[in-house]
């Protein structure tokens, strides 16, 4: 038998078809929980290191009704691959653990202000905390680009809710650091308690010092499951290219108002640094300082070169006049010459009126429209010392926005918030799934923020369930790329050895990584070879026929 093979690489694809449960509550109190998104996984080796094709199946068994006091009959869970039995486990009396230690890590970054997310998150957290068993303790982590608040696991719920309701959104996102702190906090809880971190976020991690690998390893080492909730749509991770046009004229020497004690130039240093710290990994930025004249643009750098970016910012010292229009025009030209893919924008800050530019404001607007580059303008300082009318016109005419920062605090906030708006385009769903899957937790997408309450109710139930895991060697050890079915059958055993009644059955499938092999009958193959030989000989036969 001949075989033609072609490469088709595919990830594990799970498609669970829920079979109608043949459940009778009077005789079958059990329910099998089997998640098609995460509960079948192909392994390249067994847990003891033996190489081969192995399949890991996860499932939980729960009571169909909480009023069942006595279980009649003998139950077993059978696992089949393509209709052939490969393993099984006796069904123990399932239980919901009320001895839990949980850390709720809630994102309070600036983007949580959008679409009523923070209000819905507060309401959902209230449901979650009240649904936890009374014997379970719970702690809290509120985070943005840093850990804002932390409360260790306690039995009282009110202090946690009060802290959540009082915190206002601001800053970037560091959910990996928050998860790490949650795992570390639970490490000191009492032995014998199940540990879980419930992480809720609406953005891409922009600011964590911890890596995903470190967080997963810490969670595994400490026996802590991480449940992740992604609020909103998955991000596209498009590259973002911006130019920071920064005024360091002489008027940047004094403070912004009578309350501030920090010189405006030092406030700018802090604010611009927060901008680059809040960039995503796909962000690139160039810096153009200006005063009387526009200086040479600094090279585009990404977040891996943040030290060099901060050095350029800290070198800015106040002197000279203000050439805002020329600087904005140059920022547009730099982005055009760079010609990089992705989003583009100019972010310009000044504390005064333009008084030395050769370009007129109309030229700058026309150039920005031609290049399709929005201008974001920030006026810094007293209202009567900035040309807010002109800057607002420049911003709104080009699809950007104008902001007024009255003091150092508002300037830092605006730079940070603007960086988040430009760089944070959604959740990193792949990372949230990976963290949950590899720590034994589960990922929950909440594309509609109104779903949060229902999702956190599900999380409350799932973290209490006793889960089971079985690894079996595939009956077919060929990496043929074919789809294989995995069936979980809940059976009730009778008097006889072979007397088994299937009371519930669920089937899922996975796509094996490897080669898809198509087989062909050898007679067909021979016929094709004969036909091919005839085609090769045909030109010679035609020439002989013509000569004759």
Per-residue pLDDT of 107-132, as tens digits, reads 998 889 888 899 999 999 998 988 88
Beta strands 147-154 and 283-290 are unpaired
Lowest mean pLDDT among 92-96, 222-226, 305-309: 92-96
Cα–Cα–Cα angle for 377, 382, 387, nearest 5°? 45
Q: Which two tokens stand for residue 510?
A: 């996975």
Residue pair 520/3 in contact (Cβ under 8 Å)? The answer is yes
Supply the DSSP symbol for 20. Answer: P
Within 10 angstroms of residue 276's Cβ, the number of other Cβ atoms is 24
**Euclidean distance between CA atoms 528 and 346, whole angstroms:** 65
Neighbours of 89 (CB within 10 A): 14
Quick check: 432 pLDDT over 70? Answer: yes
Q: How far apart are CA 389 and CA 385, in angstroms?
A: 12
Hey, what are 250's tokens? 């002489």
**C-alpha–C-alpha distance, residues 547 and 502, integer Å:** 78
CA atoms in the 13 A half-sphere facing the CB of 2? 11
pLDDT > 80? residue 7 = no
Domains assigned to the chain: 2-96+468-518 (no CATH), 100-235+426-462 (3.40.50.410), 240-423 (3.40.50.410)
| pLDDT above 90: percentage of residues in the chain | 48
**Alpha carbon 439 to chain centroid distance?**
16
Q: Are 70 and 48 in contact (CB under 8 A)?
A: no
pTM assigned to the model: 0.65
φ, ψ (nearest 5 deg) of residue 227: -100, 125
Beta strands 375-380 and 401-405 are: parallel
pLDDT at residue 451 in the model: 87
| Helical pair 361-371 and 324-338, crossing angle rounded to 10 deg | 20
How do residues 440-488 score in pLDDT, each as one tens digit?
888 999 988 888 888 888 888 777 766 677 788 888 888 777 778 888 8
Contact between residue 140 and residue 149 where contact means Cβ atoms under 8 Å apart:
yes
Q: What is the rounded distance in angstroms from the CA atom of residue 44 to the CA atom of residue 484?
A: 16
Per-residue CA distances from 221 to 180, 327, 420 (Å) = 12, 53, 33
Please report, for residues 9, 76, 150, 489, 490, the alpha-carbon distance to residue 87 in angstroms, rounded to integers and kept in the order given: 28, 10, 45, 11, 12
527 bridge partner residues: none
Among the listed residues 126, 120, 147, 151, the one whose alpha carbon sits nearest the alpha carbon of residue 138 = 151
Q: Answer whether residue 265 shows pLDDT above 90.
A: yes
Is residue 384 predicted with pLDDT exceeding 80?
Answer: yes
* Residue 239: predicted pLDDT: 92
Which of left, alpha, beta for 75 (phi over 0: left; psi -120 to 50: alpha)?
beta
Of 251, 338, 253, 238, which is closest to residue 288 (Cα–Cα)? 338
Task: Give the pLDDT mean for 19-46.
Answer: 62
Q: What is the pLDDT of residue 436?
A: 92
Provide the pLDDT for residue 482. 76
Residue in this structure with the two tokens 């810490």, named with its chain if needed? 218
Range among 282-286, 490-494, 532-536 with highest mean pLDDT value? 282-286
Tokens 């014998």 correspond to 192
- Picking from 294, 298, 287, the residue whose alpha carbon sits closest to that of residue 357 is 294
Only one residue has tokens 């850390």, namely 103
- Return d(Cα 54, Cα 473) in angstroms, integer: 4
Query: Residue range 335-361: average pLDDT?
Result: 96
pLDDT over 70 (residue 24): no
User: Alpha-carbon distance 401 to 382, whole Å?
Assistant: 19
Extract the tokens encoding 310. Answer: 């901060």
300 contacts 286 by C-beta, under 8 angstroms: yes
Q: Which H helix or E strand runs over 15?
A: none
User: CA end-to-end span of the chain, whole Å?
Assistant: 43
Q: What does the pLDDT read at residue 59?
A: 76
Residue 517 has pLDDT above 90, yes or no: no
**What's 12's DSSP letter?**
-
Closest-CA residue to 89 (of 76, 74, 71) = 76
Report the DSSP pairing between strands 2-7 and 515-520. Answer: antiparallel
pLDDT for position 434: 93
């Amino acid at each position: 038998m001949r075989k033609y093979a072609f490469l088709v690489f595919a990830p594990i694809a799970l498609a669970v078809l829920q079979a109608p449960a043949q459940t009778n509550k009077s005789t079958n109190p059990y329910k099998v929980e089997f998640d098609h998104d995460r509960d079948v996984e192909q392994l390249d080796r067994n847990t003891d290191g033996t190489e081969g094709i192995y399949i890991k199946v996860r499932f939980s068994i729960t009571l169909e009704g909480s009023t069942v006091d006595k279980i009649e009959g003998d139950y077993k869970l059978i696992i089949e691959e393509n209709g052939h039995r490969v393993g099984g486990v006796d069904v123990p009396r399932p239980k919901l653990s009320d001895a839990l230690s949980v850390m709720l890590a809630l994102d309070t970054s600036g983007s949580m202000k959008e679409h009523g997310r923070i209000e819905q998150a507060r309401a959902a957290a209230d449901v979650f905390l009240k649904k936890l068993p009374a014997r379970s303790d719970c702690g809290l982590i509120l985070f943005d680009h840093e850990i804002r608040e932390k409360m260790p696991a306690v039995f009282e719920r009110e202090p946690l809710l009060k802290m959540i309701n009082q915190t206002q959104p601001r800053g970037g996102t560091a959910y990996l650091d928050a998860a790490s702190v949650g795992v570390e906090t639970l490490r000191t809880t009492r032995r014998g308690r199940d540990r879980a971190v419930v992480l809720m976020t609406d953005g891409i991690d922009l600011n964590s010092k911890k890596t995903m690998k470190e967080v997963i390893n810490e969670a595994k080492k400490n026996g802590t499951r991480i449940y992740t909730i992604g609020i909103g749509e998955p991000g596209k991770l498009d590259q973002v290219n911006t130019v920071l046009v920064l005024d360091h004229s002489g008027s940047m020497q004094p403070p912004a108002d009578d309350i501030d004690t920090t010189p405006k130039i030092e406030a700018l240093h802090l604010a611009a640094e927060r901008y680059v710290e809040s960039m995503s990994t796909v962000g690139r930025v160039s810096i153009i300082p200006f005063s009387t004249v526009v200086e040479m643009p600094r090279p585009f750098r990404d977040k891996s070169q943040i030290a060099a970016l901060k050095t350029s910012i800290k070198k800015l010292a106040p002197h000279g006049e203000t050439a805002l229009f020329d600087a904005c025009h140059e920022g547009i030209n730099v982005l055009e010459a760079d010609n990089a893919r992705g989003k583009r924008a100019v972010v310009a800050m000044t504390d005064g009126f333009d008084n030395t530019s050769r370009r007129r404001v109309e030229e700058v607007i026309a150039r920005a429209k031609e290049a399709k580059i929005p201008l974001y303008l920030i006026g810094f300082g007293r209202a009567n010392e900035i040309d807010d009318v002109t800057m607002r016109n420049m911003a709104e005419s080009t699809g950007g926005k104008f902001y007024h920062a009255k003091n150092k605090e508002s300037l830092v906030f605006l730079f940070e918030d603007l960086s988040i708006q430009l760089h944070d385009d959604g959740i990193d769903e792949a990372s949230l799934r990976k963290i949950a899957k590899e720590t034994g937790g589960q990922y929950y997408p909440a594309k509609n923020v109104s779903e949060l309450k229902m999702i956190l109710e599900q999380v409350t139930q799932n973290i209490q369930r006793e889960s089971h895991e079985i690894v079996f060697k595939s009956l077919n050890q060929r990496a043929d790329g074919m789809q294989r079915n995995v069936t979980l059958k809940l059976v009730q055993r009778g008097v006889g050895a072979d007397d088994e009644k299937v009371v519930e059955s669920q089937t899922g499938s996975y796509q094996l990584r490897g080669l898809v092999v198509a087989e062909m009958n050898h007679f067909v193959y021979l016929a094709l070879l004969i036909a091919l030989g005839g085609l090769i000989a045909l030109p010679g036969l035609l020439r002989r026929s013509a000569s004759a």
